[in-house]
Amino acid sequence: MIKIGVIISGRGSNLQAIIDAVELGKIPAQVAVVISNNPKAYGLEWAKKHNIPTKVYEPKKFPDKNTYELEIVKTLRAHQVDLVCLAGYMRIVGEPLLQQYFGKMINIHPALLPSFPGLHSQKQALDYGAKVSGVTVHFVDEGCDTGPIILQTAVPVMQDDTEETLSARILEQEHKLYPEAIKLFAEGKLKIEGRKVKIL
Ligand code: GAR
């Protein structure tokens, strides 16, 4: 059974999907700690309801990004976390987290990477006129949504979609794909080979 640390910034619906999958016994894992950079993140409430320890670290309360991240690393280590899941964490990860957790830190992104990285990916897909977008779960590297891809699901873009309707259709798939990727990691079935992830 592996220990997961989840880092969030907001609503936390992917966190909920992970907790649900764990509680239903679909993933051989335990959510050991939930960390947020935003004290108002709703996901913190959800974690508390499930008796999961939470920590809030606000970047502005630290002298620099390194000190901020070192505090996060300290907490993850204190909870003996094996896998870090970024779930709607809206910051680019820096050196301290990468040094400690490269190959053990994954992220979910609401588009088919490498298309539409960064913020507002659903709006980017709509504005571009893409007919298909989707979800990507990938290992985190030093870039913005550039790490080796673990799993992807395609989601159609409808002609009359708004950012809200497309986001909702994509989110439904996110909630299925993230637990699936975590399960593969927990079972030791993911092997990074350069840019590629082999599923064993
Ligand atoms: C999700 O759609 C996630 O894919 C996205 O933020 C949302 C968070 O929702 N992440 C990114 O855009 C990261 N670049 P949630 O807080 O309800 O899980």
Segment 43-101, tens digit of pLDDT = 999 999 999 999 999 999 999 999 999 999 999 999 999 999 999 999 999 999 999 99
CATH code where residue 29 lies: 3.40.50.170
Atom of ligand 1 nearest to the CA of 145: 14
Q: Which helix (H) or strand (E) holds 143?
A: none
Q: Which helix (H) or strand (E) holds 184?
A: helix 163-186
Average pLDDT value over all residues in the chain? 98
∠ CA 33-34-40 to the nearest 5 degrees?
150
Query: How big is the chain by its Cα radius of gyration, in Å?
Result: 16
pLDDT digits (tens, 9 = 90+) for 173-195: 999 999 999 999 999 999 999 99
Range of the domain at 183: 2-199
Q: From ligand 1's centre to the CA of 181, what distance in Å?
A: 16
The amino acid that residue 148 corresponds to is P
Atom of ligand 1 nearest to the CA of 12: 16
The SS3 of residue 130 is: coil
Q: How far is CA 174 from CA 39, 79, 120, in A?
A: 24, 26, 15
- H helices of the chain, in order, are 13-23, 42-49, 65-78, 95-101, 121-128, 163-186
Q: What is the pLDDT of residue 104?
A: 98
How far is Cα 143 from Cα 126, in angstroms, rounded to an integer? 24
Confidence band of 134 (pLDDT split at 50, 70, 90)? very high
Domains: count for the chain: 1
- Residues having CB closer than 6 A to ligand 1 are 8, 10-14, 87-88, 108-110, 121, 145, 171, 174
